[in-house]
Amino acid sequence: MDRRTLLQLAVATGVGAALTDAKLAAAATNGRPVIAMLAYPGMFALDLVAPFAVFSSMATHDIQILWKQKGVIPSSGIGIEANATFAECPENVDVIFVPGGGTGTVAAMEDPEILAFVASRAAKARFVTSVCTGSLILASAGLLKGKQATSHWVVRDRLAALGAIPTNRRVVIDGNVITGAGVTAGSDLALTIASVLSNEKLAKAVQLSIEYDPDPPFDAGSPEKAPPDVTKFVESYYGGVTGAFDQAIARRKKALAL
């Protein structure tokens, strides 16, 4: 029995019995609700792959990985395949999800086609979500004004320039907007989304199914915990791309009249 079949059984036999949301109830006759996951060149692969593992294990939604064209998209050294185009994505989706990255994200922040697509689906989505620097794409689309949100710690405070309220938490929920911190926070974000899309028991079943039980060899996963010299090294390493983010943010701030 594969993991997807296991979770389908859980839904059918009681662990997922609280799936009473109207959209899910309608899914039995009208097709399953959609989780729309944006993909784009230069994103961090783990930003998308880790949440995808959670969402696919839920076995309650159709998952579309979306780009302008179908096919393989280069992302931090490996390819991610888009299985649908922007035009093929339904207007009404349960979740719009945006991953982060480095220079690829900078480009996405100023790509009119990406911003228009994200904004259009966010307008009707049940939840608008991102992980890592993906929140800067949401903010660039004008979707985080007055919202608490998080991002990768290196750029988190820069959200303020685009109207958001930077918040130092692993996962931040503000209304129907759910944002996650850097890269590996995607798993935490997706499990949080799973719990609100269905119920806590199913989310816990997914967590156990993928054996998500972090036990890192070092306690250095945030600047509050890492040694100061390590933090300075990482800040220096990202110096070039943060400068590019600053330039893109300045241009988007002007475009959004903030």
89 annotated active-site: no
Kindly report, residue by residue over 165-202, the tens digit of the pLDDT: 999 999 999 999 999 999 999 999 999 999 999 999 99
- Is residue 159's pLDDT more than 50? yes
Cα 147 to Cα 155, 215, 252, distances in angstroms: 16, 32, 17
Per-residue pLDDT averaged across 75-88, rounded?
93
Q: How much of the chain, in percent, has pLDDT values that exceed 90?
A: 86
- Is residue 13's pLDDT more than 80? no
Q: What is the pLDDT of residue 74?
A: 86
Position 63 confidence tier, pLDDT thresholds 50, 70, 90 = very high
Per-residue pLDDT averaged across 222-241, rounded?
96
- Looking at CATH, the fold of the domain delimited by 3-255 is given as Rossmann fold (3.40.50)
pTM of the full structure: 0.90
User: If residue 24 lies in a helix (H) or strand (E), which one and from where to where?
Assistant: helix 22-30
- What gap in Å lies between CA 153 and CA 160, rounded to an integer? 13
Q: What is the pLDDT of residue 28?
A: 35
Q: How would you label 56-92 residue by residue, b for 16+ Cβ within 10 Å and e otherwise?
A: bbbbbbbbbbbbbeeeebebeeeebebbbebeebeee
Q: What is the pLDDT of residue 150?
A: 98
Rg, the chain, Cα only: 18
Per-residue pLDDT averaged across 104-133, rounded?
98
Q: Where are the domains of the chain?
A: 3-255
Catalytic residue among 89, 132, 141, 172: 132
Per-residue pLDDT averaged across 124-132, rounded?
98
- Is residue 1's pLDDT more than 90? no
- Distance from the Cα of residue 177 to its chain's centroid: 11
